[in-house]
């Protein structure tokens, strides 16, 4: 008998499919050694990279209990009963729309961007929030096993929509992974541990649905309402020429008419007990709603950007690879570059020496810095050393205040190669305008080009092979169990997960 036949719910700890490790350190003893076993990330990783074991799920549940205990009672704007939920949702939406209109008016009258000082600031934001975005929707995962209960159907449908109903170009995690790859924001292996807290909360809820149903309903209720920061982020990303689709998609799917925001209210009403519980359900729902406020929030991340610190971080992270890679002739301020890079602590002094030695000319066009020309341009000796994101940060750091125009480092590179540095446009095109121009020239859409092909016959994938092999050998209950496992946070965005999502929808909602 295979392991599959023993498993009946997603809470069972066995591993059926070999799971991919999108940002796992499982095979990296050095990174593992640096991870505190009580860190958020050490709890997060097993929940996102596979089917967690019983002790791992139980540790996540303990973490949730602690988080709920630490969450202050009251101090939310939720109504005191489900009867007022729809009115509450409408009022919240009106308030957000009003603030957004005010934002637009100030921008149209010449106010600067409110969130992102330059392009690297926006990309920094996308990278820092990745641990949360890469588990988007996961708080609802545990309800898939109970999809037959009509009182949970709004929540299950919401989860399926987070998964794009099995379409790669609508799966929220696939879209975010595409965004990271497209702008060179990988790897994300050195983010502060605090950035994993919110993602851990979401995963912990998803893997412990039986114990935390009211909290899941409450979390979903608060999290699916349209926040102002989503609207402003999307607006400013587009303005900086960065694909805002992941964010605009959430503006549309969270809408209060038919979207996730209304569905979340309906789900809270549907799941409420008909029998008297003395107000316990509503109390727990409100506590769950507050879990979305824990961890490092969107505005905290945006305010936390300091380009000097980010440049130092980038060089410090690169130092171990660069140490020993330079010849003895490479010297800055009379000291060998290999020596400078021997200890990441030298990085601030090294950068200062580069500046004093004229290698870097701050507050000038990047192409006027000899150091920049080593990184980019024809026959650049250090081409490929820095990722596209890192190059953008260095580019904006060198340019100083002028980087507020949002220019991409690629524009500078193109201008260098054509000798047209003086003609670099002062203001880059917004993403949407650039996309329209590209399409008018006959190009295909660049949005979501990194998503897996929509034709599953083109997929070559180990989990997909296993799924196809195992599914026909099982009875109906075990088949559904396997599909639910393949729709877990570790797998739903992969070819196997996308196929499983479609098969699950066919079986669950077939008429
Ligand atoms: Fe989402």
Cβ-in-10-Å burial (0-12, 13-18, 19+) of 336 comes to middle
Span 301-318, average pLDDT: 94
Distance 177 CA to ligand 1 centre (A): 13
Is residue 10 scored above 90 in pLDDT?
Answer: no
The confidence band for 137, taking pLDDT boundaries of 50, 70 and 90, is: very high
Same domain, 425 and 479: no
For residues 384-406, give the mean pLDDT.
93
Per-residue model confidence (pLDDT) at position 335: 76
Q: Do residues 13 and 156 share a domain?
A: no
- Residue 404's pLDDT is 94
Q: Is residue 291 very low, low, confident or very high in pLDDT (cuts 50, 70, 90)?
A: very high
- The yes-or-no verdict on residue 418 having pLDDT over 90 is no
User: What's the rounded mean pLDDT across residues 250-279?
Assistant: 86
Cα(201) to centroid(ligand 1), Å: 15
What is the predicted pLDDT for the residue at 393? 97
- 3-class secondary structure per residue, 222-235: HHCCCCHHHHHHHH
Using 50, 70 and 90 to split pLDDT, how confident is the model at 317? confident
Confidence (pLDDT) at 228: 96
Helical pair 245-253 and 172-182, crossing angle rounded to 10 deg:
160
35: pLDDT strictly greater than 60: no
User: What's the whole-number mean pLDDT along residues 356-380?
Assistant: 87
Does 202 have pLDDT greater than 50? Answer: yes
- The pLDDT-based confidence of 454 (bands split at 50, 70, 90) is low
CA of residue 250 to ligand 1 center, whole Å: 6
Choose the weakest-confidence range: 157-161, 183-187, 407-411.
407-411
Mean pLDDT of 163-181: 95
Q: Per-residue confidence at 337, pLDDT binned at 50, 70, 90?
A: confident
Alpha-carbon distances, residue 93 vs 113, 294, 323 (angstroms): 23, 22, 53
Q: Report the phi/psi class of residue 336: left, alpha or beta, with left for phi > 0 and alpha for psi in -120 to 50.
A: beta
User: From the CA of 162, how far away is ligand 1's center (Å)?
Assistant: 5
Q: How far apart are CA 185 and CA 122, in angstroms?
A: 11
Q: Which domain holds residue 7?
A: 3-35+451-509
CA 248 / ligand 1 centre spacing (Å): 11
Q: Tell me what pLDDT residue 319 has.
A: 74
Residue 50 domain flag = no
pLDDT > 90 fraction of the chain, expressed in percent and rounded:
64
Mean pLDDT confidence for 353-378: 89
The answer to whether residue 458 scores a pLDDT higher than 80 is: no
Percentage of the residues of the chain whose pLDDT score is greater than 70: 81
Residue 46 lies in a domain: no
Q: Cis link prior to 187 (omega < 30° from 0)?
A: yes
Cβ count within 10 A of residue 300: 12
Domain boundary among 288, 303, 318: 303
Last residue of a domain, one of 439, 465, 482: 439
Residue 328 placed within a domain = yes
Residues 461 and 337 placed together within one structural domain of the fold: no
Lowest mean pLDDT among 222-231, 248-257, 410-419: 410-419
Same domain, 203 and 344: no
- 27, 30, 32, 38 alpha-carbon torsion, rounded to 10°: 180
Nearest-angstrom CA–CA distance, 320 and 326: 12
pLDDT of residue 71: 80
CA 293 to ligand 1 centroid distance, Å: 17
54 CA to middle of ligand 1, Å? Answer: 27
Please give the distance, rounded to the nearest whole angstrom, from the Cα atom of residue 135 to the centre of ligand 1. Answer: 9
In the chain, the largest separation of any two C-alpha atoms, in whole Å, equals 80
- Give the count of domains, the chain: 3
Distance (angstroms) between ligand 1 centre and the Cα of 176 equals 10
Q: What is the mean pLDDT of the chain?
A: 85
Q: Per residue in 66-114, pLDDT tens?
A: 999 988 766 678 888 888 999 999 999 999 999 999 999 999 999 999 9
CA of 461 to the centre of ligand 1 (A): 25
Looking at the structure, do residues 184 and 112 belong to the same domain, yes or no?
yes
- How far apart are the CA of 424 and the centre of ligand 1, in A? 37
Whether residue 194 sits in one domain with residue 75: yes
Please check the confidence at residue 483 and state whether its pLDDT lies above 60: yes
Do 117 and 203 share a domain, yes or no?
yes
Residue 209: inside a domain: yes
Q: Please indicate whether residue 446 or residue 473 has the higher confidence score (pLDDT).
A: 473
pLDDT at 463: 92
What's the gap in Å between 172 CA and the centre of ligand 1?
5
Both 117 and 215 in one domain: the answer is yes
In the predicted structure, residue 476 carries a pLDDT above the cut 60: yes
Residues 311 and 297 in one domain: no
Residues 402, 268: one domain? no
CA–centroid distance, residue 158 to ligand 1 (Å):
9
Q: Are residues 117 and 207 in the same domain?
A: yes
Q: What separation in Å is there between the alpha carbon of 166 and the centre of ligand 1?
A: 14
Quote the ligand 1 centre to 254 CA distance (angstroms). 9
On whether both 369 and 244 belong to a single domain, the answer is no
SS3 category, 335 = strand
Q: Which pLDDT belongs to residue 416?
A: 62
| CA–CA distance, 395 with 387 (Å, rounded to integer) | 12
187 versus 56: the higher-pLDDT residue is: 56
Q: Is residue 371 part of a domain?
A: yes
420 Cα: distance to centroid of ligand 1 (angstroms):
42
Q: How far is the CA of 503 from the centre of ligand 1 (A)?
A: 21
- 44 in a domain, yes or no? no
State residue 432's pLDDT score.
79
- Regarding predicted confidence, which is higher, 454 or 221? 221
Q: Which residue has the higher pLDDT, 483 or 338?
A: 483
pLDDT of residue 23: 34
Q: Is 191 contained in some domain?
A: yes
Give a yes or no: residue 154 inside a domain. yes
**Average pLDDT value for residue range 355-368:** 92
Any idea what the CATH number is for the domain that residue 260 is in?
Answer: 1.20.910.10
What span, in angstroms and rounded, lies between the C-alpha atoms of 190 and 350? 21
Ligand 1 centroid to Cα of residue 380, in Å, is: 40
Distances (CA, A) of 398 to 17, 308, 331, 365, 483: 48, 10, 21, 8, 51
Residue 137 alpha carbon to ligand 1 centre in Å: 6
- Residue 456 clears pLDDT 80, i.e. is over it: no
Q: How far is the CA of 136 from the centre of ligand 1 (A)?
A: 5
Which one of 269, 303, 337 terminates a domain? 303
């Amino acid at each position: 008998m295979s392991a599959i036949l023993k498993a009946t719910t997603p809470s069972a700890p066995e591993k059926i499919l070999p799971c991919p490790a999108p940002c796992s350190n499982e095979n990296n003893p050095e990174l593992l050694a640096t991870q505190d076993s009580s860190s958020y990330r050490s709890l997060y990783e097993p929940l996102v990279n596979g089917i967690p074991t019983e002790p791992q799920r139980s540790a996540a549940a303990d973490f949730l209990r602690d988080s709920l205990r630490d969450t202050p009672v009251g101090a939310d704007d939720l109504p005191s009963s489900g009867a007022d939920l729809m009115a509450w949702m409408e009022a919240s939406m009106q308030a957000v729309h009003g603030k957004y209109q005010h934002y637009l008016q100030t921008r149209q009258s010449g106010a600067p961007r409110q969130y992102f000082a330059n392009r690297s600031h926006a990309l920094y934001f996308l990278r820092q929030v990745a641990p949360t975005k890469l588990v988007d929707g996961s708080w609802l995962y545990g309800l898939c096993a109970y999809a037959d209960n009509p009182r949970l159907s709004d929540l299950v449908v919401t989860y399926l929509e987070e998964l794009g109903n099995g379409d790669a170009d609508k799966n929220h995690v696939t879209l975010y992974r595409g965004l990271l790859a497209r702008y060179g924001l990988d790897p994300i292996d050195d983010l502060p541990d605090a950035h994993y807290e919110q993602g851990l909360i979401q995963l912990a809820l998803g893997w412990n649905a039986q114990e935390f149903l009211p909290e899941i309903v409450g979390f979903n209720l608060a999290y699916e309402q349209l926040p102002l920061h989503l609207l402003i982020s999307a607006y400013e990303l587009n303005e900086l020429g960065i694909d805002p689709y992941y964010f605009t998609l959430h503006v549309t799917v969270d809408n209060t008419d038919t979207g996730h925001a209304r569905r979340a209210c309906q789900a809270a009403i549907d799941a409420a007990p008909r029998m008297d519980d003395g107000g316990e359900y509503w109390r727990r729902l409100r506590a769950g709603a507050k879990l979305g406020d824990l961890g490092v929030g969107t505005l905290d991340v945006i305010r936390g950007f300091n380009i000097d610190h980010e440049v130092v971080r980038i060089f410090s992270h690169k130092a171990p690879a660069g140490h020993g890679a330079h010849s003895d002739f490479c010297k800055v301020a009379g000291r060998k570059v290999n020596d400078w890079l021997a200890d990441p602590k030298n990085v601030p002094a090294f950068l200062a020496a580069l500046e004093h030695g004229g290698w870097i000319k701050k507050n000038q066009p990047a192409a006027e810095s000899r150091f920049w020309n080593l990184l980019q341009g024809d026959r650049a000796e250090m081409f490929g050393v820095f990722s596209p994101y890192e190059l953008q940060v260095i580019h904006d750091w060198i340019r100083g205040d002028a980087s507020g125009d949002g220019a991409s480092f690629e524009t500078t590179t193109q201008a260098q190669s054509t000798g047209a540095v003086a003609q670099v446009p002062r203001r880059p095109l917004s993403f949407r305008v650039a996309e329209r121009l590209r399409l008018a020239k006959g190009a295909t859409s660049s949005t979501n080009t990194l998503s897996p092909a929509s034709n599953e016959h083109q997929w070559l994938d180990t989990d997909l092979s296993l799924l196809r092999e195992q599914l026909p050998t099982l009875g109906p209950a075990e088949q559904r169990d396997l599909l639910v496992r393949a729709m877990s946070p570790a797998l739903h965005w992969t070819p196997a997960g996308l196929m499983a999502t479609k098969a699950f929808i066919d079986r669950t909602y077939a008429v």
